[in-house]
């Protein structure tokens, strides 16, 4: 039969292509339905198969650096996926362990320490709000690479920005300055922090220096965002002044921007540096950026993580 | 069409002759020894561990059968030149592919059925020797019928792996087929990460590419419901049906591709 065989229907290229396309469409549609109906990708469940980086390192044989890359990608996905999720309650529980495993597998994974510390410190809902874990991660990095002055500076920065402990911040900036090859401005930053820690101007100087010394776009963009937040805080101060003048004149707080515009205290509905209108909450007399703004929440206004 | 069942039975008999079913003895010994040792080592988790071990071993043994026999189904005939005498008979090429596939699936089915019986027998014995009070502390009964769902999806996954191995064996060497099949098996357990790639990359092109790969590469993770079953978590029949439907469509595409390639292959 095979010698004088006639071509089967599916052997014709056009029929084959249609049949194959139909089957592929069935594969994709069944996967899509399953993902939609049954909690997409069960592989994304909050699970660490092996929570100990040292054990993983032994199991990885000579592929520990490659495995570190895999865990770094998992950490990024966990952070990014949770941050962008629509759910009401966000859990970043795996972030610390994933970063710890990554840096245990590859102790010289510079980016994992620095970016990881930024992720860990970010306040809820944009991050877990765990500066203590970030400091521990950076100290682990210092243990591996004592000549990395950026790690000391990052710890100082966490004390400065997130913990408002300006003495500790100045101490770490000084430590960073003492590392051979460190940037020249760290010593003046330490002095400035001691003298005027917490002032918006010194914060602006800090972020400006981070922006100028950043060795990658991610940290540079983060510095730009923080500088923009400081700009928003300046704007809000001015708007609070306008509202105060309205109260002095009318004897009651303004209900809306229209009232302030009508009274001539502001020229139009004020917008933040990203272009979204500021929010005037007449119920509690506060002015803030919109929760939809990239700048939300402003420093010192992060929400408490869910219990 | 009687040709396909005849080839399938031949493949099954050949696997019996090749002593493939010896792995069942190894499986039974593993379970019996493990149940004894684990009873000495652990406190109260024996049934869970035997379930994990039994279902895991079913998967691993089946995987080795699917890959190492699957990759040789066609290429062995070509290497031994027996393909010429086969094709000289009233056997069409696609019948050969389908028959070989059905034969290996039959071998897997027999293997997995016997393993499941052995697993239930060991678990039944463990349940029988325990007190009623102790049995009440288990998350799920020792001989929980829900385990059959996990066994069924293991079998379905292995059918898909067999189709992958057979597909590669129609055009590449056994070693390359094994590497490619194992590669896809590993990728298949991690490719769900590709689905959420847009959360970590800014490039829409990279995100679309990752999403396309997610749908095109076999996604084997959904077939693994062992942990849910062992912990008595609910697994709906709808989920099992959808996952089976996914496997059926994927297997159909792979077999169609294998038949198409094999029908055009020149053996001169």
What single string gives the DSSP state of each residue in B140-161?
A: S-TT-TTHHHHHHHHHHHHHHH
- The reported pLDDT for the residue numbered A48 is 57
Residues of chain A with pLDDT under 70: 1-7, 39-63, 196-198, 299-307
By the CB < 8 Å criterion, does A114 face chain B? no
Query: How many domains does chain B fold into?
Result: 1
Answer for the pair B50, B123: CB distance below 8 angstroms, yes or no. yes
What is the structure's pLDDT at A5? 53
Task: Provide, as residue numbers in chain A, all residues whose Cβ is less than 8 Å from the Cβ of B87.
Answer: 2-3
> Coil, strand or helix: which one is A286?
strand
Asked if residue A275 lies in contact with residue A268, where contact means CB atoms within 8 angstroms, the answer is no
DSSP conformation letters of B176-244: HHHHHHHHHHHHHHHTHHHHTGGGT---HHHHHHHHHHHHHS---GGG--HHHHHTT----HHHHHHHH
Go through the domains of chain A in sequence order and give each one's CATH number: 50-198 (1.25.40.10), 214-307 (no CATH)
Q: How far is A166 from chain B (nearest CA, A)?
A: 34
Q: How far is residue A267's CA from residue A207's CA, in Å, rounded to a whole number? A: 30
Residue among A3, A19, A37 minimizing CB distance to B256: A19
Residue B200 and residue A80: Cβ atoms within 8 Å? Answer: yes
pLDDT at A51: 62
Residue B199: list chain A partners with CB under 8 A: 77, 80-81, 84
| Separation in Å, CA A261 to CA A105, A240, A250, A266, A278 | 59, 14, 14, 5, 14
- A-proximal residues of B, 45-74, CB under 8 Å: none
Q: CA of A248, closest CA in chain B: separation in Å?
A: 48
Give me the domain span that covers residue B237.
3-264
Where chain B has pLDDT below 50, the residues are: none
Interface test with A, best of B191, B217, B263 (most A CBs within 10 A): B263
Alpha-carbon distance B91 to nearest alpha carbon in chain A (angstroms)? 6
CB pairs under 8 A between A and B: 104
Q: Is A3 on the interface with B (CB under 8 A)?
A: yes
């Amino acid at each position: 039969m095979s010698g004088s065989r006639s071509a089967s229907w599916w052997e014709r290229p056009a029929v084959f292509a249609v049949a194959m396309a139909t089957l592929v469409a069935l594969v994709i549609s069944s996967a899509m339905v399953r993902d939609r109906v049954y909690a997409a990708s069960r592989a994304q469940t909050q699970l660490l198969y092996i929570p100990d980086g040292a054990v993983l390192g032994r199991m990885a044989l000579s592929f520990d650096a490659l495995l570190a890359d895999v865990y770094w990608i998992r950490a990024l996905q966990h952070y990014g996926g949770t941050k962008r999720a629509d759910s009401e309650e966000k859990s970043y529980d795996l972030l610390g362990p994933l970063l710890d495993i990554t840096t245990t597998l590859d102790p010289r994974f510079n980016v994992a320490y620095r970016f990881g510390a930024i992720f860990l410190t970010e306040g809820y809902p944009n991050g877990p709000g765990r500066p203590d874990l970030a400091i521990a991660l950076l100290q682990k990095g210092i243990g591996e690479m004592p000549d990395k002055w950026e790690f000391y500076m990052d710890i100082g920065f966490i004390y400065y920005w997130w913990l408002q402990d300006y003495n500790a911040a100045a101490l770490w900036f000084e430590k960073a300055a003492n590392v051979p090859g460190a940037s020249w401005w760290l010593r003046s930053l330490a002095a400035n922090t001691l003298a005027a820690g917490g002032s918006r101007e010194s914060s602006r100087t800090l972020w400006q220096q981070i922006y100028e010394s950043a060795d990658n776009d991610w940290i540079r963009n983060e510095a730009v965002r923080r500088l923009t937040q400081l700009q928003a805080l300046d704007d809000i101060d001015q708007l609070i002044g306008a509202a105060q003048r309205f109260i002095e004149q009318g004897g009651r707080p303004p209900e809306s921007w229209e009232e302030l515009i009508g009274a001539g205290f502001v020229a139009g509905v004020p917008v933040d540096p990203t272009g979204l209108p500021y929010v005037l909450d007449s119920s509690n007399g506060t002015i803030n950026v919109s929760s939809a703004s990239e700048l939300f929440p402003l420093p010192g206004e992060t929400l408490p993580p869910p219990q | 069409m009687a040709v396909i069942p005849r080839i399938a039975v031949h493949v099954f008999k050949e696997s019996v002759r090749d002593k493939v079913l010896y792995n069942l003895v190894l499986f039974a010994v593993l379970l019996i020894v493990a149940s004894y040792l684990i009873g000495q080592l652990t406190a109260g988790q024996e049934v869970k561990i035997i379930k994990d071990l039994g279902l895991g071993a079913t998967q691993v043994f089946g995987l080795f059968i699917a890959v190492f026999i699957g990759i040789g189904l066609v290429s062995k005939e070509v290497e031994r030149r027996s393909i010429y005498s086969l094709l000289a008979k009233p056997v069409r090429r696609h019948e050969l592919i389908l028959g070989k596939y059905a034969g290996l699936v039959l071998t897997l089915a027999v293997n997995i059925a016997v393993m499941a019986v052995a697993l239930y027998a060991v678990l039944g014995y463990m349940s029988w020797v325990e007190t009623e009070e102790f049995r009440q502390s288990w998350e799920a009964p020792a001989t929980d019928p829900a385990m059959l769902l996990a066994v069924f999806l293991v079998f379905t996954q292995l059918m898909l792996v067999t189709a992958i191995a057979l597909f590669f064996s129609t055009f590449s060497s056994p070693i390359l087929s094994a590497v490619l099949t194992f590669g896809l098996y590993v990728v298949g357990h991690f490719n769900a990460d590709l689905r959420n790639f847009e959360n970590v990359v800014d490039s829409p092109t990279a995100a679309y590419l990752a999403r396309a790969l997610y749908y095109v590469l076999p996604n084997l993770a959904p077939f693994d419901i062992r942990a849910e079953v062992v912990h008595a978590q609910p697994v709906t029949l709808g989920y099992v049906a959808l996952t089976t439907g996914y496997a059926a469509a994927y297997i159909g595409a792979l077999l169609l591709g294998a038949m198409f390639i094999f029908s055009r292959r020149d053996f001169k």
